[in-house]
């Protein structure tokens, strides 16, 4: 696992074993979790998260997507 950001109870990360998939990240908060694609930036799925949590994830993802996509490429060797 490669951690990207921890803030306000959210943990943003990606699994280094998932390089066969398009660039994406996972996020968890409590028992909730989600997966987001990085290019284009959009939610793939979410479970156990409030609408407020999903909106916050979207805000943080938009602010960091370029950096996280670069990190994906660097770590995954793409």
> From the first residue on, what is the mean pLDDT of each consecutive set of 10 residues in the chain (78 residues)?
96 93 97 97 98 98 97 90
Distance CA 52, CA 55 (A): 5
Q: Which domain holds residue 41?
A: 2-76
Residue with the two structure tokens 């490669």: 2
Number of domains in the chain: 1
pTM of the predicted model as reported, rounded to 2 decimal places: 0.93
Cα–Cα distances (Å) from 34 to 41, 74, 77, in that order, read 13, 23, 24
């Amino acid at each position: 696992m490669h951690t990207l950001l921890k803030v306000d109870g959210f943990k943003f990360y990606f699994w280094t074993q998932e390089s066969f998939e398009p660039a994406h990240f996972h996020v968890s908060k409590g028992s909730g979790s989600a997966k987001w694609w990085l290019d284009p930036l959009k939610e793939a799925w979410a479970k156990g998260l409030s609408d407020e949590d999903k909106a916050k994830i979207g805000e943080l993802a938009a602010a960091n997507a370029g950096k996280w996509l670069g990190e994906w490429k660097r770590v995954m060797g793409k």
